[in-house]
Amino acid sequence: MTMDTNKEEKYIVTGGTPLKGEVLIGGAKNAVLKLMAAAVLAKGETLIHNVPDLTDVEIMLKVIKELGTKTKYDKFNKTVSIDATDITNVTAKYELVSKMRASFIILGALVSRCNEAIVALPGGCAIGERRVDFHIKGLEALGVNIKIENGYVHAKAPKLVGTDIYLDIPSVGATENIMLAAILAEGETKIQNAAREPEIIDLANFLNSMGADISGAGTSDIVINGVKQEDLHPIEYTTIPDRIEAGTFMTAIVATRGKAIIRNIFPAHLTFFNNKLLKMGASIKLIEPTAIEVSSKGRLNTVNFVTQPYPGFPTDLQSMAMVLLSTANGVGIITESLYENRFMQVPDMRRMGADIHQDRNHAIIKGVKKLTGAAVSASDLRAGASLVVAALMAEGTSEINNLYHIDRGYENFDKKIQALGGNIERIKIESTQESTGDLNEIRI
């Protein structure tokens, strides 16, 4: 008799409990992944602190380790050690890059350090569709010879020379890849229409601490004056807090009409989001430079949201905005201006009772009095987290499946929610299929 065993996990969430207490925000996923790639530039051991325990971090560590570096991750102290004294391999394989688009940032670091790189295209998809062409054009402007063969970018740079580069859109990844490649280029490089995200500033601060010469990060014009390889040295650095995790917990507190303190947050990184919450009727009080108290009473007011590059409303919090609008008073419109397929949560929100009409990149949300629990599935990282928040505010019990998406960007998500009084459990499903097809659930 044959036996197949499949293991999955899901959240069981019973909604209706206001979140109260305190929550500590972790290091920024979208910053630390780029810092880890940048650590490859300097010979010696670099230490990065405030590193969250995420699957994306594990993937980036594997990418970097395959280059010949020595890596360690102290999960207790949230510290990653990367000793890049020797780089013995310049290939980032599809098996890893396909799992996490951010790992494509290793291209600029390798070109800078080794004058050569072979990096898989993210997901193996066409360049134009994923806008990797901005990365390619920027590197070519610096003197990198690039060929694309069998799903890999083959880059060689006999000599990197600084130049003026204009980005058609303020792409975060392209800005970062160009920064990493330009720090060892001869002369000055200017990136015009550069991305302005806090993670860009964090990367620039990291590289400057390492010995680079970068100015203008956080503005539309970033200037990089090239330095020599011997000018770069390993450093010890602490990652900024994760503004998207902070926004997620702010949403959860407001959605459940709770009251809680959020610590390790840089409020200025969420100015636009904060203003929207205030307009909806939430209360946000600054109690310390890196701590806020968030609360909400009664039904929220409806506002409209348009996602924009930073400092505008972040696309990564668009699904959170939808959760809030789903029970707000009136009709709200969300316009997703950055990504074509960012309304993945809509079908599951409808399963929970939300009244949402989607028209291309617009979502029209008519607030209902309440959501109700349902079985739903995370389709991607942010959509999955928004469904957890929706379940926390819904009446009854919900199941959220495909937790591996959520684990990419949220550390101990269920434990942090539990600490705030939320009713959430993580269930391991061990399915043993014989002739009877039994199903056993183990709570962990």
Sheet containing strand 164-166, edge to edge, reads 164-166, 188-192, 221-225, 213-215
Instruction: Answer for the pair 361, 335: CB distance below 8 angstroms, yes or no.
Output: yes
Q: Is the dihedral of CA 321, 326, 331, 334 positive or negative?
A: positive
Of 2, 63, 3, nearest in space to 33 by CA: 63
Q: Which helix (H) or strand (E) holds 24?
A: strand 20-24
Q: Is 125 in the active site?
A: yes
Residue type, 62: K
DSSP 277-288: HHHHT-EEEEEE
Q: How far apart are the first and last CA of the chain?
A: 30
Contact 35, 206 (CB under 8 A): yes
Q: H or E element: which one contains 333?
A: strand 331-335
User: What's the angle, vertex CA 276, arms to CA 270 and CA 280, rounded to 5?
Assistant: 140
How far lies 236's CA from each of 44, 89, 351, in Å?
Answer: 11, 25, 47
User: What's the Cα-to-Cα distance from 356 to each of 2, 332, 359, 364, rounded to whole Å?
Assistant: 46, 10, 10, 6
Angle (deg, nearest 10), helices 271-280 and 243-255? 10
Q: Hey, is 328 helix, strand or coil?
A: coil
* Residues ≥6 apart with Cβ < 8 Å to 173: 101, 102, 104, 105, 132, 134, 135
Q: What is the DSSP letter of 100?
A: -
User: Residues 44, 124, 125, 404: which is the catalytic one?
Assistant: 125
| CA 407 centroid distance within chain | 11
User: Which residue is listed with tokens 């310049």?
Assistant: 90
Question: What residues are annotated to the active site?
Answer: 125
